[in-house]
Amino acid sequence: MAHGPATLADGWGKYISRWVFTTNHKDIGTLYLWFSFAMFIMGGAFAMIIRAELFQPGMQLIKPEFFNQMTTMHGLVMVFGAIMPAFVGLANWLIPMMIGAPDMALPRMNNLSFWILPFAFAILTSTLFMEGGGPNFGWTFYAPLSTTYAPDTVNYFIFGVHIMGASSIMGSINIIATVMNMRAPGMTYMKMPLFVWTWVITAFLLVAVMPVLAGAVTMMLMDINFGTSFFDAAGGGDPVLFQHIFWFFGHPEVYIIILPAFGVVSQIIPTFSRKPLFGYSSMVYATAAIAFLSFVVWAHHMFTVGMPIAGELYFMYATMLIAVPTGVKVFNWITTMYRGSLTFETPMLFSIAFVILFTFGGFTGMMLSIAAADMQYHDTYFVVAHFHYVMVAGAVFSGTAAVYYWLPKWCGRMYDETMGKVQFWIAFIGFNITFMPQHFLGLAGMPRRYADYGLQFADWNMVSSIGAFMYGGAQILFLFNVIRTIGWGKPTDDPQVWEGAEGLEWTVPTPAPYHTFATPPKVK
Amino acid sequence: MLKRAQALFLGLLSPVIALAMAGNVSAESATRQLNMPQGVTEVSQAAYDIHMIMMWICTVIGIAVFGFMFYVMYAHRKSRGAVAANFHENHVVELIWTIVPALILIVMAIPATTALLKVYDTENADIDIKVTGYQWKWQYEYIGEGVKYMSELRTSQDEIYGRAPKGEHYLREVTEPLVIPTGKKVRFLITGNDVIHSWWVPDFGVKRDAVPGLFTAAWAKTDVPGTYVGECTELCGIGHAFMPVVVEVKEEAEYNEWLAGKKAEVAEYASTIGKEWTFDELMVRGEEVYERSCAACHQSDGNGIPGVFPALKDSPIALGAKEGHIAVLIDGVAGTSMQSFADQLSEVDIAAVVHYERNAWGNDVGDVTQPIDVLNYKQGQ
């Protein structure tokens, strides 16, 4: 450790080069986290536009053409720009510190995998300013709407997705290599913190399915520019083929988003329960089981496409099975709290909300798995409500919990607890006002991705929009609290930070020095 | 403290209670509907039943799990002096909560399978209707009857854009609904013409994707006459929210009368196709057709959307030879979203809309396009 990182005192040139050329896992983690927050704000702004237009029936603010671009970009930016990079950022910061490694196994690739991301999203969002507008075919980009009938800018979208995929694959390979090779002596697999476990499994999922996505968009590229007909019925192709390929990627993708969230919550709940995680090994096995099942249930997204009944039945039964390992996890979290000594700091509040709301999303997921009922739910606001319960209250809540939980370790300053709790309650209430009514809207018959709707849906849409603005406001408070903490928070140098925190990352000094575990710790 | 817990508990339950109580709202007074409609067919009833079973199972599990969780959060908090235990495993408990949910699922699979078999029971239909999704309208063809027509949104662009007050049936009204009789098993053969659409009538429990190049089947049989409104449920472009499905169920005698009327219309239309229309008649009819079938892309003012949908105002095609203009409507433009309207609009409507486009928004070709011109083009192909 000859010298520390360049700071602003060394001049702008050196400071900027530090971030551009960095191979330090903490720096790269920080970059990922700030990038994902920027994308979160952008995707959130798109959502606000959607909810503002849906505030009342009729088209008031934007045209349907732009509305479709907003729903598409909101989905793409949130999934690929906000949630996934946020968890890669957490992985970068935490995995080396949790397993007692000095850095990631492949630091230069780490730098590359981050720095291609801003370019991917610059390419993607630049289409909004081009003639023809941005992608307008939904984040699932079903062909032929996304091929024959797409604006010319779809080619930018395709290249953007390719770059995002490359970034994810490199990030995953790095995590797998790090965990397999750089664990401290004595850190056996079954001693690894659950966050590390969930990330390793996620990384395998990513390596398996990202190439499938790349294949799908490449076939689109061929159909659009080189006259092939993979997805064009007129040329002997099949639009349904696209859906099979997409969801073979898409279903594991949703577990890619949620598994690291499981990991985060499995770290936080024991800390504030002051009690070890209940059922550690069953947690590991349940995660692996969920990951395996994610590969064999994809067509439950396609129950209305006209599959033969044997296919419907198989995908229905397989999907119902997911409830078993997921239930195990929920029971384990609650039993961890049972006979603990509970306190409710902000990270714990977000984690508890995660367990409740994610479970609620799991219930609606079980309902959706029943094919006969799904004939009514499919592509309605019921589905929108379902996946926002697992994506927002699941992934985003756990990401927020993670930032509050580890921020003092990262920067050596405490956040403002009151502000954190206020943010939590605004977010929690706003979230439920936004998405609970969407269940009613969907059951009453409102399809998703509708720019306009009949008068019978007016009331709940207005309620939902009000909730969305509230939830959006909570994120501004979050940003403010984080910046305030980094700049002016109350300094702390307690390595453990939280009374009940366990794990190697809590044994290094606070704030975590630029290089940790230059000599590996001994794990008993 | 107990009172507080009770209030909290009831508060959390209220959406569930509201959901359960709202089950029987009829389709027409659906403004405050919270739950899935029971509908009027065997299939919709089956979907509703399994939906309710699932919801009650989830509610019971939810009450048990969350109830225990709230108890823990209340009883084992540090501020009440709780001291943490140190257990972290119990194989018996873990085994139980793996096996019990699995057993519940196995039991659930039985009604779920029965309901699905009902959905797929499309054999032995009395009437076959081909449903084709177009951007952004539905075409209904009564197979073997020679009756075929388009069903398009009737709500005006003015209502949508707030230039006129919204009517009672805003976005729930079409030019011509699908008509089916009571007491007959009707099979829908569903396909798509351009992109994927999805044909949904909640009260029938029928939702099937309309995929180009693929036919999927669904069925309905009901004894309850009435008007049933549904939607397109697969994103299909800018008019996705503007292509509702409206089905009228009539008593059999009334249905037969209606069908005979449709057949007579077809015969009558064929005999009047040679009629000469005046400049102004064509402008009036052309504007109607344009607003319904063209304005969503090319816009009411003919300016299009730059980079996506070309302007018709001052366009070389609209100002050029009549035959070239007709050709675009009949043949479509390959590789773009401009589809062929040959099957969607009648010769009269195509003539009227071509005439309108050549003489509106400052386009002033001044010629007159007659239905016979369109017919000649079609036959000359």
Q: What share of chain B is helix, strand, coil (3-state, %, to 5)?
A: 45, 15, 35
A168 as an active site residue: the answer is: yes
Cross-chain Cβ contact A376/B216 below 8 Å: no
- Mean pLDDT, chain B, as a whole number? 88
List the 435-454 stretch of A: residues with Cβ below 8 A of B.
436, 440, 443-454
DSSP A378: T
Asked whether residue A284 is assigned to any structural domain, the reply reads: yes
Which domain, by its residues, includes A286?
Answer: 35-130+139-183+195-506
Note the pLDDT of residue B9: 47
Distance CA B94, CA A273 (A): 20
What mean pLDDT comes out for the span A38-66? 96
A255 as an active site residue: the answer is: yes
Instruction: Report yes or no: A53 and A453 within 8 Å, Cβ to Cβ.
Output: no
Which residue in B73, B113, B161 is closest to A313 by CB distance? Answer: B113
Number of domains chain A is built from: 1
Q: Which helix (H) or strand (E) holds B2?
A: helix B2-21
Closest by Cα among A380, A379, A395, A385 to A365: A385
Note the pLDDT of residue B292: 83
pLDDT greater than 70 at residue B21:
no
- Express each pLDDT in A273-314 by its tens digit: 999 999 999 999 999 999 999 999 999 999 999 999 999 999
**Which CATH class, in words, describes the domain spanning B2-119?**
mainly alpha
- Express each pLDDT in B265-277 by its tens digit: 888 877 777 788 8
CA of A441 vs chain B CAs: smallest distance (Å): 7
CA of A130 vs chain B CAs: smallest distance (Å): 8
Note the pLDDT of residue A415: 96
- Express each pLDDT in A163-219 by its tens digit: 999 999 999 999 999 999 999 999 999 999 999 999 999 999 999 999 999 999 999
- Mean pLDDT, chain A, as a whole number? 95
Best to test chain B binding among A348, A379, A433 (most B CBs inside 10 Å): A379
Contacts of A136 (CB under 8 A, 6+ apart): A65, A68, A69, A72, A150, A151, B237, B238
Asked whether residue A4 is assigned to any structural domain, the reply reads: no
- Express each pLDDT in B146-195 by its tens digit: 899 999 999 998 999 999 999 999 999 999 999 999 999 999 999 999 99
Query: According to the CATH classification, is domain B273-380 in 2.40.40.20?
Result: no
State the pLDDT confidence band at B323, using cuts at 50, 70 and 90: confident
Cross-chain Cβ contact B58/A367 below 8 Å: yes
Distance CA A483, CA A65 (A): 37
**A64–B contact, CB cutoff 8 A:** yes
Distance CA A77, CA A84 (A): 10
Which residue in B79, B168, B195 is closest to A149 by CB distance? Answer: B195
pLDDT greater than 60 at residue A107:
yes
pLDDT greater than 80 at residue B29:
no
**A367–B contact, CB cutoff 8 A:** yes
Note the pLDDT of residue B342: 84
Q: Which of A15, A34, A139, A314 is catalytic?
A: A139
List the 298-357 stretch of A: residues with Cβ below 8 A of B.
304-306, 309, 312-313, 316-317, 320-321, 323-324, 327-328, 330-331, 334-335, 337-344, 352, 355-356
pLDDT greater than 50 at residue B262:
yes
Q: What percent of chain B has pLDDT over 70?
A: 91
Asked whether residue A381 is assigned to any structural domain, the reply reads: yes
Give A53 or B379, the one with higher predicted confidence. A53
Asked whether residue A29 is assigned to any structural domain, the reply reads: no
**A241–B contact, CB cutoff 8 A:** no
Longest dimension (CA), chain A: 69
Q: In angstroms, what CA-CA distances link B124 with A273, B120, B184?
A: 62, 12, 11
Contacts of A453 in chain B (CB under 8 A): 171, 241
Which residue in B68, B120, B337 is closest to A149 by CB distance? Answer: B337
CA of A11 vs chain B CAs: smallest distance (Å): 46
Distance CA A78, CA A423 (A): 20
Note the pLDDT of residue B33: 83
In angstroms and rounded to an integer, the radius of gyration of the C-alpha atoms of chain B is: 28
Asked whether residue A18 is assigned to any structural domain, the reply reads: no
CA of B369 vs chain A CAs: smallest distance (Å): 30
**Sequence letter at residue A103:** D
Residue carrying structure tokens 């919550």? A265
Note the pLDDT of residue B2: 45
pLDDT greater than 50 at residue A4:
yes
Note the pLDDT of residue A294: 96
Cross-chain Cβ contact A278/B88 below 8 Å: yes
Distance CA A31, CA A110 (A): 11
Which long-range contacts does A148-154 make (Cβ < 8 Å, 24+ apart)? A148/A223, A148/A224, A148/A232, A148/B195, A148/B335, A148/B337, A149/B135, A149/B194, A149/B195, A149/B237, A149/B337, A150/A224, A151/B307, A151/B308, A152/B307, A153/A127, A154/A220, A154/A224
Contacts of A65 in chain B (CB under 8 A): 238, 305, 308
Contacts of A17 (CB under 8 A, 6+ apart): A6
Which value does ipTM take for this structure?
0.92
A65 as an active site residue: the answer is: no
- Express each pLDDT in B324-344 by its tens digit: 899 899 888 877 778 888 888
Give the residue extent of every domain in chain B: 2-119, 127-271, 273-380
DSSP B240: G
Buried b (16+ CB within 10 A) or exposed e, A412-433: bbbbbeebbeebbebbbebbbb
What mean pLDDT comes out for the span B241-250? 96
State the pLDDT confidence band at B20, using cuts at 50, 70 and 90: very low
State the pLDDT confidence band at B25, using cuts at 50, 70 and 90: very low
State the pLDDT confidence band at B10, using cuts at 50, 70 and 90: very low
What mean pLDDT comes out for the span B23-42? 69
Cross-chain Cβ contact B73/A342 below 8 Å: yes
Instruction: Report yes or no: B369 and B322 within 8 Å, Cβ to Cβ.
Output: yes
- Express each pLDDT in A426-482 by its tens digit: 999 999 999 999 999 999 999 999 999 999 999 999 999 999 999 999 999 999 999
Longest dimension (CA), chain B: 95
State the pLDDT confidence band at B381, using cuts at 50, 70 and 90: low
Asked whether residue A16 is assigned to any structural domain, the reply reads: no
Cross-chain Cβ contact B233/A378 below 8 Å: yes
Note the pLDDT of residue B31: 59
Cross-chain Cβ contact A59/B160 below 8 Å: yes
List the 160-199 stretch of A: residues with Cβ below 8 A of B.
none
- Express each pLDDT in A346-385 by its tens digit: 999 999 999 999 999 999 999 999 999 999 999 999 999 9
**Sequence letter at residue A148:** T
CB-based burial of residue B323 (10 Å sphere; 0-12 exposed, 13-18 middle, 19+ buried)? exposed
**A372–B contact, CB cutoff 8 A:** yes
Note the pLDDT of residue A268: 97
Asked whether residue A45 is assigned to any structural domain, the reply reads: yes
CB-based burial of residue A316 (10 Å sphere; 0-12 exposed, 13-18 middle, 19+ buried)? buried
Contacts of A448 in chain B (CB under 8 A): 233
The CATH number assigned to the domain holding A369 equals: 1.20.210.10
Query: According to the CATH classification, is domain B127-271 in 2.60.40.420?
Result: yes
- Express each pLDDT in A374-417 by its tens digit: 999 999 999 999 999 999 999 999 999 999 999 999 999 999 99
State the pLDDT confidence band at B367, using cuts at 50, 70 and 90: confident
Note the pLDDT of residue B17: 46
- Express each pLDDT in B57-80 by its tens digit: 999 999 999 999 999 999 999 999
Q: In what order do the strands lie in the sheet with B197-201?
A: B178-181, B245-250, B226-232, B197-201, B206-210
What mean pLDDT comes out for the span A89-107? 96
- Express each pLDDT in A311-338 by its tens digit: 999 999 999 999 999 999 999 999 999 9
pTM, rounded to two decimals? 0.90
pLDDT greater than 60 at residue B13:
no
pLDDT greater than 60 at residue A99:
yes
State the pLDDT confidence band at A85, using cuts at 50, 70 and 90: very high
Cross-chain Cβ contact B236/A145 below 8 Å: yes
**Any idea how long chain A is?**
524
A139 as an active site residue: the answer is: yes
Distance CA A139, CA A145 (A): 12
Buried b (16+ CB within 10 A) or exposed e, A69-81: bbbbbbbbbbbbb
**Sequence letter at residue A209:** V
Residue of B nearest to A362 (CA): B58
State the pLDDT confidence band at B259, using cuts at 50, 70 and 90: very high
Q: Which of A25, A26, A51, A74 is catalytic?
A: A74
Distance CA B190, CA B362 (A): 42
